[in-house]
């Protein structure tokens, strides 16, 4: 069982908006630890998508955006494209009891 909780799957049609949630607790996200997001497309290495809650690395389209509040965070994808289909993971920092760097279980995005 992963420390951070994500929905197992989300789906949307091309052009639509989807949101993926990442829920933590008082030992990780709620302490103010940053949340980062990764994308893993089929057959490829994981790729950093969002870091420090809201920052997109160079080359990541502005269709991807991150948000953090309290003990949770979310990733929004606007203008959904077929190439976005894959797995998405959130990551944060926890107390040494269960970390310190912890991940969500991952969310499978299906583009309908």
Q: List interacting residues with another protein (CB under 8 A).
A: 2, 31-34, 36, 38, 44-48, 51-52, 57, 89, 91-93, 96-106
**Cα four-point dihedral sign 63, 69, 74, 78:** negative
* Shortest Å distance, C-beta 3 to another protein: 9
Q: Please state the separation of Cα 8 from the chain's center in Å.
A: 12
Residue closer to another protein by CB (options 16, 95) is 95
Q: Kindly give the pairing relationship between strand 36-40 and strand 18-23.
A: unpaired
Residue closer to another protein by CB (options 9, 16) is 9
* Shortest Å distance, C-beta 111 to another protein: 22
Rounded Cα gap, residues 112 and 109, in angstroms = 9
């Amino acid at each position: 069982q992963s420390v951070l909780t994500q929905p197992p799957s989300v789906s949307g049609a091309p052009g639509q908006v989807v949101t993926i949630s990442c829920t933590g607790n008082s030992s990780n996200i709620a302490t103010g630890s940053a949340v980062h997001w990764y994308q893993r497309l089929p057959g490829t290495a994981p790729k950093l998508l969002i870091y420090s809650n809201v920052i997109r690395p160079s080359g990541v389209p502005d269709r991807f955006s991150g948000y953090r509040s309290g003990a949770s965070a979310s990733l929004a994808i606007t203008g959904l494209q077929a190439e976005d289909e894959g797995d998405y993971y959130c990551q944060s920092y926890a107390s040494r009891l269960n970390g310190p760097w912890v991940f969500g279980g991952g969310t499978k995005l299906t583009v309908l």
